[in-house]
Structure 1
Amino acid sequence: MTHLPDCPLCQPANPLHLIWRNDKMRVVGVDDPDFPGFTRVIWHDHASEMTELSEEDRQAFMDVVWKVEGVMRAELLPKKINLAQLGNMVPHLHWHVIPRWPLDSRFPDAIWAAPREHTPEQELAWSIFQENLQAQLPAFRAALRDLLENHYA
C-alpha cells in the first residue's frame, strides 16, 4: 500500500470521526456546522485518479459512496445530496457526500460558493433546523456503520 507522509488523507482517521473502515477504504464524518451529516469516503492507498484503481476496486469504492448516500437520504431526509470527487487540493481519492437543505447558507449553490444573505428569521430557522440535525447524526452514523459492517462482513 502506498502512503505519502505529507498527505493528510494517507494518515489514519481520527477515531472520533471514523464511522467505518475495511482494508481498502474508510468512511468518516466531517465536522462542518454549516453542513451537518457531511461524510467522506476515503481510499486508503494513495491514488489520485479513479482510473488508477482496478475495475473491481472502483466498483467497491462507488458502492460505498452510494450506500452512504442511501442511508443519508433515509435517515437525514435532505432536499438534495451533493457528491463531489475533486482532489485538487489533496490529490488522494476521496468522495464528499454532502446533504443539502434549502435553509443551508449556500443552497442552491455549491458548498464552496460564498454564503447567501439570509434574513434574521431564516438564520433562526436554520439554527433550529441545524440543532435537530445534529441530534440525528449519531443515529445516521450508527445506521451507516451497521449497513456497511453487515454488507462487508
Structure 2
Amino acid sequence: MDCVFCREDGGDVLWQDDRLRVVLADEHDYPGFCRVIWNGHIAEFSDLDGNDRDHVMKAVYAVERAMRRVLHPVKVNLASLGNQVPHVHWHVIPRFSNDAHFPLPIWAPRQRTVSEAMLSSRRAQATLLREAVRQEIGQAFNN
C-alpha cells in the first residue's frame, strides 16, 4: 500500500493527538485550506466506531470555527472525498466570493485569476490559524 497520508503529514501540522492531526495544506490558491486526517489507514468514515467519528467531527467543527474567526470567509466548504487518497480525511476550505473558483467547488474549472497580492494577504492571515485551531480544539474536547 502506498498512501501519502500514511507516509507524510499532509501539510504543516497545526495540532495532533494520538488519533488524528490537523494540517494546513499547501494549496496555492487557497491559503488557510486545512485537512483533518485520521492517523490510522482507514478508507471509509463509517469504518470508524462512533466515538472515533465524534472525535473527528469535533476537530472538523473546531477547525471551521477557527477558520471563520481568523479568515472571515463568506463560506466554509467541508468535504470528505477520498477518491484519490482513500484514507479518512476531511477538507476544511475557506471560500471567498473572489477566490479562483467561487461559487463552484475548488476542483471545478477556474472562474478567475486571483492576484498574488490578495493570496499573499490571505497567507499572512492563515499563519494565525495555528493558535486559533489549538484554542478551538481545546474548547471542543474539554466540553
Fold similarity call, TM over 0.5: yes
Cα deviation 1:76-123 (Å, max 9, x = unaligned): 0001111000011111000000001011110000100110145xxxx4
- Tell whether the 8 Å contact from 1:29 to 1:38 is kept in structure 2 after alignment: yes
Q: Residue type matched to 1:143 in 2?
A: A
Q: Provide the rounded CA distance (Å) in 1 between the counterparts of 2:112 and 2:24.
A: 27
Give 4+ residue runs of structure 1 displaced > 4 Å after superposition: 149-153
Name the residue aligned to 1:26: 21
- 3-state SS in 1 of match to 2:119: helix
TM-score normalised by the chain length of structure 2: 0.90
Q: Provide the rounded CA distance (Å) in 2 between the counterparts of 1:99 and 1:143.
A: 14
Name the residue aligned to 1:11: 7
Q: Does 1:109 find its partner at 2:104?
A: yes
Name the residue aligned to 1:142: 131
Cα deviation 1:31-78 (Å, max 9, x = unaligned): 112011000000011111111011111011011000000110011000
Q: Residue type matched to 1:77 in 2?
A: H
Aligned length: 142
1:84 aligned residue (75, 79, 85) = 79
Q: Does 1:40 find its partner at 2:35?
A: yes
Aligned residues: CA RMSD:
1.8
Identity of aligned residues (%): 41
Q: Provide the rounded CA distance (Å) in 2 between the counterparts of 1:46 and 1:141.
A: 25
Q: Does 1:54 find its partner at 2:43?
A: no
Larger radius of gyration: 1
